[in-house]
């Protein structure tokens, strides 16, 4: 089947910043739309977003150049590629920009096209998106554990130094887990407003609450005081409070060793800790991973790169990785990162970004590759709820 048209446009993400949306049509008159997300606590090694830089529009963050690039330069050649051959399509994209960090096209341009092509190939094949992803990634599909981010801090909200405190039900059926998350959140709201006042119930970029002047250990104790069959996960995003060799944590400058000691002392019911140290300190990751009862997850450390995942898994610096397609660019490179993680037997957690659209693609991605987990924020805000609701649909589709 053939591509008959490609269109691109500038839309808004959940922070009110411009982002790219790509639609693609086939010769049966079917069409798909892919919305590109955008991070705030980005890793230094991530592929780059292309932005216009014209400060008279959206403070320089416009993506009109990406739209022009697609519609005037890339579209014609890409439309000649038949649907159903992801590596050929992504290979063609790579010829337009072979640079490691996608400086020319931008990872946003590449993912918009690559993601729309994947969706249209799946639709043309008559398969559900998660089934098609399972087939091309040669993975057994399964339902992931939901990582529900209920407290926002770091670069996503004023409040805690740790960026995310998540509840993770043990149950993977969304029809059960989603209700558990919603009732956990209701109970958490009650306890937070008693402890920190009602203003703690305002929400951050990923829909989590934002208690002010709270101690991290106290917040963890509140989580643990709520009944239910779940574990707790942290995304520390430690690069965001690291400066001059020290971590600025709870008003003090602490060393990597001291911070590692804090994780160990607060490990009760902790399932995983993401980016516990800044993104160049893989040695501290390895020290923690060799002693911890929880999984040590790389995000800024590994940036969805097959090479880096392979390197840090071999060094035993990680026992799990975050997979975010826009950190690397194309779907093929994302699936290569997944394959690297599967080969090293580290846990895979597919993740949204803090700046999101209503696109629910990552739910199909996580299910299709049989990921251990999926990070989709709190069960509020349309752009987060879209992913929850897609998981509920996928279960009904028979997974």
Q: Which H or E run contains 168?
A: strand 164-169
For residues 86, 89, 92, 94, the Cα torsion angle rounded to the nearest 10 degrees is -50
Q: Are the C-beta atoms of 226 and 191 separated by less than 8 Å?
A: yes
Let me know if 138 is a catalytic residue. no
Q: Which residues bind ligand PGA (CB under 6 A)?
A: 39-42, 235, 237, 299, 322, 351, 353-354
Residue 40, contacted partner among ligand PGA, Zn ion, none, CB below 5-8 A by kind: ligand PGA
How far is residue 51 from each of residues 38, 106, 159, 324, measured CA to CA in Å? 12, 8, 29, 19
Q: b/e per residue, 138-157, with b = 16+ CB within 10 A?
A: ebebbbbbbbbbbbbbbbbb
Single residue of 299, 310, 360, 395 touching Zn ion by CB under 5 A:
299
Residue in this structure with the two tokens 């640079």, named with its chain if needed: 99
Nearest residue (CB) to Zn ion, 299 versus 333: 299
Residue 137, contacted partner among ligand PGA, Zn ion, none, CB below 5-8 A by kind: none
Nearest residue (CB) to ligand PGA, 167 versus 237: 237
Residue 353, contacted partner among ligand PGA, Zn ion, none, CB below 5-8 A by kind: ligand PGA
Residue 14, contacted partner among ligand PGA, Zn ion, none, CB below 5-8 A by kind: none
Nearest residue (CB) to ligand PGA, 237 versus 369: 237
Nearest residue (CB) to ligand PGA, 6 versus 165: 165
Let me know if 75 is a catalytic residue. no
Q: Which of 10, 46, 69, 206 is catalytic?
A: 206
Phi, psi of 32 (to 5 degrees): -135, 160
Number of residues forming the site for Zn ion (CB under 5 A): 3
As measured in angstroms, the least distance from the Cβ of 135 to ligand PGA is: 28
Nearest residue (CB) to Zn ion, 45 versus 119: 45
| Residue sitting closest to ligand PGA (CB) | 39
Phi, psi of 235 (to 5 degrees): -115, 105
Nearest residue (CB) to ligand PGA, 32 versus 238: 238
Q: Are the C-beta atoms of 316 and 74 separated by less than 8 Å?
A: no
As measured in angstroms, the least distance from the Cβ of 228 to ligand PGA is: 24
As measured in angstroms, the least distance from the Cβ of 38 to ligand PGA is: 7
Q: Is 235 in the site for Zn ion (CB under 5 A)?
A: yes
Can you read off the two tokens belonging to residue 48? Answer: 């780059």
Can you read off the two tokens belonging to residue 176? Answer: 């059960």
| Sign (positive or negative) of CA dihedral 271, 277, 279, 281 | negative
Q: How far apart are CA 23 and CA 32, in angstroms?
A: 6
Q: Is 10 in the site for Zn ion (CB under 5 A)?
A: no
Q: Which of 45, 102, 119, 324 is catalytic?
A: 324
Residue 287, contacted partner among ligand PGA, Zn ion, none, CB below 5-8 A by kind: none
- What residues are paired with 233 via a beta bridge? 166, 272
As measured in angstroms, the least distance from the Cβ of 43 to Zn ion is: 8
Can you read off the two tokens belonging to residue 112? Answer: 């918009």
Q: Are the C-beta atoms of 296 and 285 separated by less than 8 Å?
A: yes
As measured in angstroms, the least distance from the Cβ of 307 to ligand PGA is: 20
Q: 19-78: which residues touch Zn ion (CB under 5 A)?
A: none
Q: Is 152 helix (H, G, I), strand (E, B) or coil?
A: strand
Which DSSP string corresponds to 126-139?
Answer: TS-HHHHHHHHHT-
Residue 145, contacted partner among Zn ion, ligand PGA, none, CB below 5-8 A by kind: none
As measured in angstroms, the least distance from the Cβ of 325 to ligand PGA is: 12
Residue in this structure with the two tokens 């880096």, named with its chain if needed: 308
Q: Is 279 in the site for Zn ion (CB under 5 A)?
A: no
C-alpha 203 chain-centroid distance: 19
Which segment (8-16, 121-129, 277-285, 293-301) binds Zn ion by CB under 5 A?
A: 293-301
Q: How far apart are CA 45 and CA 308, in angstroms?
A: 10
Return the axis-axis angle of helices 361-369 and 382-396, rounded to nearest 10°: 40
As measured in angstroms, the least distance from the Cβ of 284 to ligand PGA is: 18
Q: Are the C-beta atoms of 47 and 36 separated by less than 8 Å?
A: no
Q: Which residues are catalytic?
A: 206, 324
Interacting residues toward Zn ion by CB under 5 A: 235, 274, 299
């Amino acid at each position: 089947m053939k591509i008959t048209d490609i269109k691109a446009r500038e839309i808004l993400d959940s922070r009110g910043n411009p982002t790219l949306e790509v639609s693609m049509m086939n010769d049966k008159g079917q069409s798909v739309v892919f919305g590109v997300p955008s991070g705030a606590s980005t890793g230094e090694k991530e592929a780059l977003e292309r932005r216009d830089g014209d400060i008279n529009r959206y403070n320089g963050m416009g993506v009109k150049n990406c739209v022009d690039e697609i519609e005037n330069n890339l579209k014609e050649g890409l439309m000649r590629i038949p649907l159903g051959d992801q590596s050929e399509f992504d290979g063609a994209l790579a010829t337009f920009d072979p640079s490691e960090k996608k400086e020319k096209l931008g990872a946003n341009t590449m993912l918009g096209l690559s993601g729309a092509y994947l969706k249209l190939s799946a639709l043309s094949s008559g398969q559900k998106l998660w089934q098609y992803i399972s087939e091309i990634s040669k993975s057994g599909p399964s339902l992931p554990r939901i990582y529900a981010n209920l407290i926002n801090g770091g670069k996503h909200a004023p409040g805690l130094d740790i960026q995310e405190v998540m509840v993770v039900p043990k149950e993977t059926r969304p029809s059960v887990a989603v209700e558990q998350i919603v009732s956990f959140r209701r109970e958490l709201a009650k306890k937070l407003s008693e402890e920190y006042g009602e203003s703690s119930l305002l929400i951050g970029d990923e829909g989590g609450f934002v208690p002010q002047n709270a101690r991290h250990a106290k917040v963890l104790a509140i989580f643990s005081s709520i009944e239910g069959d779940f574990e707790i996960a942290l995304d520390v995003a430690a690069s965001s409070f690291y400066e001059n060799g020290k971590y600025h944590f709870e008003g003090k400058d602490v060393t990597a060793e001291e911070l590692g000691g804090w994780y160990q002392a607060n490990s009760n019911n902790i399932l995983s800790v993401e980016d516990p140290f800044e993104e160049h300190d893989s040695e501290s990751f390895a020290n923690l991973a060799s002693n911890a009862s929880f999984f040590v997850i790389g995000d800024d450390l590994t940036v969805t790169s097959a090479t880096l995942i392979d390197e840090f898994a071999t060094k035993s610096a990680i026992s799990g990785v975050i997979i975010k397609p826009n950190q690397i660019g194309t779907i093929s490179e994302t699936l290569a990162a997944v394959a690297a993680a599967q080969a090293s037997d580290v846990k895979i957690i597919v993740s949204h970004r803090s700046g999101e659209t209503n696109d629910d693609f990552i739910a199909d991605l996580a299910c299709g590759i049989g990921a251990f987990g999926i990070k989709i924020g709190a069960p509020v805000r349309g752009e987060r709820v879209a992913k929850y609701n897609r998981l509920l649909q996928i279960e009904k589709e028979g997974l």
